[in-house]
Amino acid sequence: MSNNIENKVVVITGASSGLGEETARHLSDKGASVVLGARRTERIESLAKDIKEKGGKALAVTTDVTEREQVKALVDAAVEEFGKVDVVLNNAGLMPLSQMEELKIDEWEQMIDVNIKGVLYGIAAALPYMKEQKSGQFINISSVAGHKIFPGSSVYSATKSAVRVISEGLRQEVKPYNIRTTIISPGAVKTELLEHISNDEIQEGNKEYVGKVGLEPKAFARLVAFAVSEPEEVDINEILFRPTAQE
Ligand code: NDP
């Protein structure tokens, strides 16, 4: 019986590390063709090579999600290479947490550009194809921080709340085209995400905490696989998960 993942074409932004990389491997193991987007070309090319050596199908396309044309080129490349686009995992993201009084305005702008505009560009690039196909799925990555706010998370939480709002609006609008929309809000997972935090104290505190309670990225990859594998008439709208030990 089909797992409803096999032969699907899955575009993943932020595929060069952490959750995106692990999901690419996991979905490929289940038979998906994966199209890998990120800025670090060497990383995605080496991931594509690994996947292909294991018998999978993968394509690496250097992509900066803050550049609308590059995101369009990523999705266009998926369709050109594999003939369709079944899933877009809008996963690329940054979390440079800081207190607002530090006025790290460049970091605020980066988060808005990557975490919000990057997701919007992913939607814009794939929606025309999915409408035409009368099928597709957007999986947009929010966060526990998109549900709750804590000191240092104001802007990050705002961007991740925006992802949830955009996704729910999108869901309501695109259901006539048989397009599914899923929000995944992870809690602490061990990835490179904390490396972007420029406030040393916040970075140290987070590293200690995530080191203690954080999950492995596989936990996330399994949930993406679950949302994709459900029958087409079932739209898993939202998944919120945390390590059991997380507050
Ligand atoms: P990583 O730092 O390991 O991965 C982030 C990915 O985003 C990298 O592949 C990076 O690729 C990519 N990225 C960043 N900026 C850009 C850009 N301008 N264009 C294209 N890609 C970009 O962290 P995670 O895997 O943890 O993060 C993935 C998502 O999960 C993020 O949206 C994050 O907010 C979210 N999340 C993570 C949690 C966690 O605990 N890990 C918890 C909740 C949410 P490159 O630098 O090569 O461009």
Reported as a single tens digit per residue, the pLDDT across 18-35 is 999 999 999 999 999 999
Provide mean pLDDT across the span 130-142: 98
Has this prediction a pTM greater than 0.90? Answer: yes
Q: Is residue 246 assigned to a domain?
A: no
Q: Is residue 103 assigned to a domain?
A: yes
Q: Is residue 100 assigned to a domain?
A: yes
Residue labelled with tokens 């709002």: 165
Catalytic: which of 121, 129, 156, 177? Answer: 156
Q: Is residue 192 assigned to a domain?
A: yes
140 and 181 Cβ atoms separated by less than 8 Å: yes
At residue 144, φ and ψ (nearest 5 deg) are -55, -35
20 and 26 Cβ atoms separated by less than 8 Å: no
What atom of ligand 1 comes closest to residue 65's alpha carbon? 19
Q: Is residue 1 assigned to a domain?
A: no
Number of domains forming the structure of the chain: 1
Count of CB atoms situated within 10 Å of the CB of 243: 16
The pLDDT, as a whole number, for residue 187 is: 98
Residue 86: which CATH number? 3.40.50.720
pLDDT, one tens digit per residue, over 90-101 is 999 999 999 999
Host domain of residue 167: 9-240
ipTM score: 0.99
In three-state secondary structure terms, 172 is helix
Closest C-alpha to ligand 1, atom 48: 39
What's the burial of 110, exposed, middle or buried (CB within 10 Å: 0-12/13-18/19+)? middle
The pLDDT, as a whole number, for residue 177 is: 98
Distance 128 CA to ligand 1 centre (A): 25
Token code pair at residue 56: 């999978």
Token code pair at residue 225: 């696989």
Closest C-alpha to ligand 1, atom 32: 93
Active site residue 156: yes
Q: Is residue 4 assigned to a domain?
A: no
Does residue 1 surpass a pLDDT of 80? no
Distance 217 CA to ligand 1 centre (A): 12
Is the minimum distance from the CB of 122 to ligand 1 under 6 angstroms?
A: no
How many DSSP H helices and E strands does the chain contain?
A: 8, 7
Distance 38 CA to ligand 1 centre (A): 9
Distance 105 CA to ligand 1 centre (A): 20
Is the minimum distance from the CB of 93 to ligand 1 under 6 angstroms?
A: yes
Q: Is residue 119 assigned to a domain?
A: yes
